[in-house]
């Protein structure tokens, strides 16, 4: 619309000028260097307009010719940009699909068309890592660390590469660097708190654990949040030198997981060392009800007041309150046998289901059969022999067993001394 209006205006102006020149005839005389030129004024003006028009046309032509290389370059650049963006998109799809070779192919194409920038370097790092070329992946992740916007992801990539290679020291350093740049990243904290724990940095492990717990992390996959937190706090208590600090961490561990047997045992030992027998026995009674253990029974019997018969009665009462769990029944039956109460010991031992009886239970039953005054001679020997035959096929006695490597430890450790996994040891 503007062009039409502009054209009409130019036509009006030129028509007006032509009419003016036609109605006002005149001549123009030019004297220059001894030459005299006389011409009609309208002709000179027309010639001037024609010259100006020719100059403008020539300028346009020269500009067009000069712009041809630039236009060709721009066309090639747009083509490269289009092909590079396509390769970048296809490479990201290949990475998401887990196709390492295809991802690397498209990553190289994207670098060829777009050059090295944040996106192409990131795709190259992911593609080389996915295809198994760790050295190339490390170079690209190192390149990402030079950019302030992508340094965090560069450290994360190096951390993952180090973990895949089994280099936990390098993984820890890279994880700490990533957390320093973005302290509230649950996905990194989820792996970092285990690395901190393996290196004995339990203060840092707890900080990372709390960050990991805020996100949708995999903490609950091999172990629960409560068990993991209690394990960390137990190790912090073991490192503490001040008694008050030690008690604080043990208390927090039990608050995190009320059935966490190692913390219950150590808290009870702490109270006994501080001459707080009543607190110790109250704690062990609660622990025996929820998580019975032979050491709890031994300590309760050693620190309860009263006759042996009254102590046994209290232990049996706790066993019943806890739902007649196997460990509680075995401990009570063993104490009853030591006191010569064969009938009560047999009753308690036989409350344990057949499928739950391990080698300790069958040995106890064999011992009861041999010592039973109601059966003597060949009858008792036959019962004992039959029970011992059952013992051969029975499951082993419980120990501090690692669920990851199936190795037995002498005590609970947050980090398995055999395979290095975190919070996998339990009494079973």
pLDDT at 219 exceeding the cut of 60: no
Q: How confident is the model at residue 130 (pLDDT cuts 50, 70, 90)?
A: confident
Question: Is-above-0.75 flag for pTM?
Answer: no
Q: What is the pLDDT of residues 360-390, one digit of tens each?
A: 888 888 888 777 655 544 444 545 566 666 6
**Residue 234, pLDDT score:** 94
**Residue 191, pLDDT score:** 86
**Residue 392, pLDDT score:** 62
Average of pLDDT values for 211-229? Answer: 68
3-state secondary structure of 60: helix
pLDDT at 269 exceeding the cut of 90: yes
Full 3-state SS string of 247-278: HHHHHHHHHHCCCCHHHHHHHHHHHHHCCCHH
**Residue 106, pLDDT score:** 82
Task: Work out the number of other CB atoms within 10 angstroms of the CB of residue 163.
Answer: 17
Nearest to 88 by CA among 60, 130, 116: 116
Could you give phi then psi for residue 416, rounded to 5 degrees?
-60, 125
Q: What is the pLDDT of residues 93-125, one digit of tens each?
A: 777 777 878 878 888 888 888 887 777 877 888
Higher pLDDT, 170 or 119: 170
Q: How far apart are CA 325 and CA 291, in angstroms?
A: 9
DSSP run (H or E) holding 409: strand 408-409
Average pLDDT, the chain: 83
Could you give phi then psi for residue 27, rounded to 5 degrees?
-125, 155
Report for 59-73, 136-150, 286-300, 383-397: range of highest mean pLDDT? 286-300
Report in angstroms the alpha-carbon separations of 373 from 334, 341, 367.
Answer: 17, 11, 12
What's the distance, CA 189 to chain centroid?
Answer: 6
Contacts of 87 (CB under 8 A, 6+ apart): 106, 107, 109, 110, 113
Task: Work out the number of other CB atoms within 10 angstroms of the CB of residue 12.
Answer: 10
Q: How far apart are CA 103 and CA 107, in angstroms?
A: 6
Burial class (CB in 10 A: 0-12, 13-18, 19+), 114: middle
Dihedral of alpha carbons 229, 234, 239, 242, sign? positive
What is the share, in percent, of the chain residues with pLDDT greater than 90?
35
Q: How confident is the model at residue 285 (pLDDT cuts 50, 70, 90)?
A: very high
3-state secondary structure of 40: strand
Residues 411-424 as b/e (b if ≥16 CB within 10 A, e otherwise) read ebbbbbeeeebbbb
**First vs last Cα of the chain: how many Å apart?**
89
């Amino acid at each position: 619309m503007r062009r039409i209006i502009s054209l009409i205006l130019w036509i009006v102006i030129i028509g007006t000028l032509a009419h003016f020149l036609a109605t006002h005839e005149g001549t123009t005389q030019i004297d220059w260097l001894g030459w005299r030129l006389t011409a009609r004024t309208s002709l000179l003006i027309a010639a001037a307009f024609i010259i100006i028009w020719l100059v403008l046309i020539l300028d346009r032509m020269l500009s067009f010719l000069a712009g041809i290389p630039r236009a060709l370059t721009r066309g090639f650049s747009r083509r490269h940009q289009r092909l590079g963006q396509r390769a970048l998109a296809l490479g990201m799809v290949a990475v998401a699909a887990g196709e390492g070779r295809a991802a690397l192919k498209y990553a190289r194409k994207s670098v060829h068309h777009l050059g090295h920038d944040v996106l192409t370097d990131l795709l190259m790092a992911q593609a080389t890592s996915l295809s198994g070329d760790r050295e190339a992946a490390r170079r690209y992740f190192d390149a990402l660390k030079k950019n302030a916007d992508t340094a965090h992801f560069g450290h994360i990539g190096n951390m993952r590469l180090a973990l895949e290679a089994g280099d936990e020291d390098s993984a820890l350093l890279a994880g700490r660097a990533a957390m320093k740049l973005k302290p509230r990243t649950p996905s990194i904290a989820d792996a970092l708190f285990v690395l901190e724990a393996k290196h004995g940095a339990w203060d840092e492990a707890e900080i990372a654990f709390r960050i990991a717990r805020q996100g949708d992390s995999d903490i609950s996959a091999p172990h629960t949040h409560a068990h993991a937190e209690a394990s960390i706090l137990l190790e912090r208590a073991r490192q503490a030198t001040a008694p008050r600090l030690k008690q604080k961490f043990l208390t927090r561990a039990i608050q995190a997981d009320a059935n966490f047997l190692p913390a219950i045992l150590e808290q009870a030992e702490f109270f006994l060392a501080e001459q707080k027998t009543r607190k110790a026995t109250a704690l062990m009674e609660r622990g025996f009800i929820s998580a019975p253990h032979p050491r709890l029974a031994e300590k309760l019997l050693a620190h309860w007041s009263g006759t042996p018969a009254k102590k046994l009665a209290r232990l049996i009462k706790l066993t019943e309150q806890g739902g007649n769990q196997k460990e509680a029944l075995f401990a009570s039956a063993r104490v009853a046998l030591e006191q010569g109460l064969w009938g009560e010991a047999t009753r308690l031992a036989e409350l344990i289901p057949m499928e739950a009886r391990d080698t300790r239970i069958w040995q106890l039953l064999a011992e009861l059969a041999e010592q039973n005054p109601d059966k003597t001679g060949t009858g008792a020997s036959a019962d004992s022999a039959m029970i011992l035959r059952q013992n051969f096929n029975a499951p082993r006695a419980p120990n501090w067993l690692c669920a990851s490597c199936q190795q037995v430890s002498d005590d609970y450790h947050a980090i398995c001394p055999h395979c290095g996994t975190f919070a996998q040891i339990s009494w079973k």
